[in-house]
Structure 1
């Protein structure tokens, strides 16, 4: 099984190995990419009675879908004001409601399929590293008024009662958000697709395509799939097969580590089962796992994947800087993964031409947006809705190539500096 060595791999509920495509087959839809977006699309099509085939270059959930922080909450990687600037106020609100629907979709799927291995845990607490309670109250009021869900305001004392750190000030807790084991969730989707008659092939990278006729053709090293529709959902591991997709995102690496078992020590710092994220761009995100016995901590981004072990040292410095009481907590495992980001920081969801669809670029809020992205693409294929068109203002904009990566890294360093100054002024 070709997974990197992660906490999620070590705690798999099952480890089924799926076959390599070694034949020529016909179906209604072929999905290229066995991550959360691809499997959600395939699941919805299979539920509607369509014959589906999923082609995965490695193993189901190999990429960011199976090695992320596990946070499931509404929203996107960019803010509502920027979304409204591109799409208009009404569309921005509709897009946020879609992201809420994505959260509900995952929660409902866990319940309906009895995915116990996903281990969903309610609550995500977003915290400030500067004194800004008034702005948080205003934001919470706006969310309640516009979208009808409540965010719980935490003042500084309440934050520090559960997060034993002098770094944090106020926070907002979202009780409708949750966190989970993403790889176990994903593999349960794969099993359900197969139960419904869908076919999933691993170690079966798409190598060439032919979109010239009404039947779309995707070829692997040993087989061929002919289908009426093809959907590309390959994220940060997209190759050059479809150049327009490959040029439209930046592969951004992020890093995660997990601690040794030390429940008593961890409880001295993090006294909550909520997942935690701070307000900085590419800030820290973390949560207790294994029923409080371990701490999973993520953060940092780079435009080139660096050694996970080296980046774990930076993550540890940040963790100990936040919680000095954790200086003796040992890191047991560290890993990295590639996310895909568009220049506009929104998902890229739509149709290249009749019968050719894409659903990618989920960096930052991948779990809810992969879910709703796959759902609206399936609706488009089925003719059930055209909700995928809400994402049209955020199309396949050229990401800038090597220069784009350099600009992204410089922007990240600039944001880090701004965060540093803001905290010093607090």
Structure 2
């Protein structure tokens, strides 16, 4: 049992394997899913002295949004402001966890730049002003020449830089969090799929192939790999594939195009996102979404086409590795966080919302279980809406193609 071959797998700080569950385990809370949301929930509960058992079908961290105006329209301005503060708190929570646990292997790097692929400076500057005014969150506005001073591409116009945001090695972060959970007495079992959940009554039971867990609380944090264990959760999310590639080592060639260690993302829906890694020696490039995962060769061709279209000077840069992963999306494009019934919690649909929001989901659910807050209620209006099954997936793909056409029209030469 191992991780798929990705950049994160190749740069793991350790290869510790955790044993499958065998026999009976009893605890305060059983958590299904060893991604960021599940591990954060387990960490906060373990820090509070609760007994935790976490079940992960594969390996810890195996599985690697909508704008504020839309959120305000759905939730109201006051709620949108609270949700934004939660997301900013998530950045600080992850940053502080890296510091507290001394996770050097996470290699955090400050700075995220969002860039426009069309001339829209006035609108972008207005957006920055609204964020500063309504959410007390200042961003650095970059004119076209400032963007192109660090990103040598004719495709880019204006941009916004978030100096408070950062990017990191997520898998090393997750594995260090798992180590801390175990140090605090929590139990993590890999290669352990939950095959049956009995959730009625005060005791919740999660059965696996070779054992079962009995607990007072059950948490489902399964993301894009949600199976049929809990039908209501499965029906409420769409598994959407996203793609990433890693280039060969070519530091001088990469530096001729990209002169920043900031993470970069463009303005398109499901646009490109990328950053230099290994001290500038390689480029990690991601983008595109589909409702069905493509072959590694096909996705590498698609991503290379995007990279070279953006930076023609990188045409000689070879692709060394490409892979895909599933993200969970809800029909309303917001995270789904809440209580299904007394003692049964869910956290899913974080596609497009980032590490900070996903981590905060685990934190607010842990707070609810511990009786510390009811902040999870901020997400109640974004519930487990049926995602439409196969029809929903087809609609998602059609929506993506429509958005691509809109992007093309907006970016066409004038």
Could you say which TM-score interval applies, normalised by the shorter chain? Answer: over 0.9
Q: What corresponds to 2:78 in structure 1?
A: 90
The answer to whether the aligner puts 1:179 opposite 2:167 as a matched pair is yes
The answer to whether the aligner puts 1:18 opposite 2:39 as a matched pair is no
Cα offset, 1:305, TM superposition: 1.1
Higher mean C-alpha displacement, 84-93 vs 13-22: 84-93
Q: What corresponds to 2:346 in structure 1?
A: 358
Tell me the C-alpha RMSD between the 2 structures. 0.8
Cα offset, 1:81, TM superposition: 2.0
What is the TM-score of this pair, normalised by structure 1?
0.96
Q: What corresponds to 1:263 in structure 2?
A: 251
Q: What corresponds to 2:228 in structure 1?
A: 240
Q: Secondary structure at the match of 2:284?
A: strand
The answer to whether the aligner puts 1:405 opposite 2:386 as a matched pair is no
Q: What corresponds to 2:6 in structure 1?
A: 6
- CA deviations over 1:232-252 (Å, ceiling 9, x no partner): 000000001100000001000
Cα offset, 1:146, TM superposition: 2.3
Cα offset, 1:25, TM superposition: 1.0
Higher mean C-alpha displacement, 133-142 vs 9-18: 133-142
Unpaired stretches in structure 2, ≥5 consecutive residues: none
Distance in structure 1 (CA, Å) of the matches to 2:96 and 2:133: 25
Higher mean C-alpha displacement, 244-253 vs 148-157: 148-157
* Equivalent of 2:276 in 278, 288, 293: 288
Distance in structure 2 (CA, Å) of the matches to 1:186 and 1:165: 34
Cα offset, 1:2, TM superposition: 2.4
The answer to whether the aligner puts 1:306 opposite 2:294 as a matched pair is yes
Q: What corresponds to 2:41 in structure 1?
A: 41
- CA deviations over 1:328-382 (Å, ceiling 9, x no partner): 0000000000000000000000000000000111001231111100000001101
Q: What corresponds to 2:62 in structure 1?
A: 62
- CA deviations over 1:257-279 (Å, ceiling 9, x no partner): 00000000000000101110000
The answer to whether the aligner puts 1:391 opposite 2:371 as a matched pair is no
Q: What corresponds to 2:195 in structure 1?
A: 207
* Equivalent of 1:331 in 298, 307, 319: 319
Distance in structure 1 (CA, Å) of the matches to 2:170 and 2:23: 31
Cα offset, 1:123, TM superposition: 0.2
Cα offset, 1:312, TM superposition: 1.1
Q: What corresponds to 1:72 in structure 2?
A: none
Cα offset, 1:85, TM superposition: 2.0
* Equivalent of 1:154 in 142, 165, 169: 142
The answer to whether the aligner puts 1:229 opposite 2:221 as a matched pair is no
Q: Secondary structure at the match of 1:207?
A: strand
Distance in structure 1 (CA, Å) of the matches to 2:292 and 2:222: 18
Distance in structure 2 (CA, Å) of the matches to 1:113 and 1:148: 29
What is the TM-score of this pair, normalised by structure 2?
0.99
- CA deviations over 1:21-40 (Å, ceiling 9, x no partner): 00101100000000000000
- CA deviations over 1:94-121 (Å, ceiling 9, x no partner): 0111011111110110011110000000
Q: Secondary structure at the match of 1:422?
A: helix
Cα offset, 1:147, TM superposition: 2.5
How many residue pairs end up in the alignment? 414
Q: What corresponds to 1:68 in structure 2?
A: none
Distance in structure 1 (CA, Å) of the matches to 2:270 and 2:300: 15
Cα offset, 1:280, TM superposition: 0.1
Q: Secondary structure at the match of 2:410?
A: helix
Q: What corresponds to 1:70 in structure 2?
A: none
The answer to whether the aligner puts 1:51 opposite 2:39 as a matched pair is no
Q: What corresponds to 1:378 in structure 2?
A: 366
Q: Secondary structure at the match of 2:61?
A: coil
- CA deviations over 1:36-81 (Å, ceiling 9, x no partner): 00000000000011000000000001112xxxxxxxxxxxx01122
Contact 1:309 1:335 (8 Å CA) reproduced: no
Contact 1:255 1:308 (8 Å CA) reproduced: no
Distance in structure 2 (CA, Å) of the matches to 1:309 and 1:201: 33
Distance in structure 2 (CA, Å) of the matches to 1:210 and 1:222: 16
Distance in structure 1 (CA, Å) of the matches to 2:191 and 2:44: 23
Distance in structure 1 (CA, Å) of the matches to 2:127 and 2:226: 36
Unpaired stretches in structure 1, ≥5 consecutive residues: 65-76
Contact 1:152 1:174 (8 Å CA) reproduced: yes
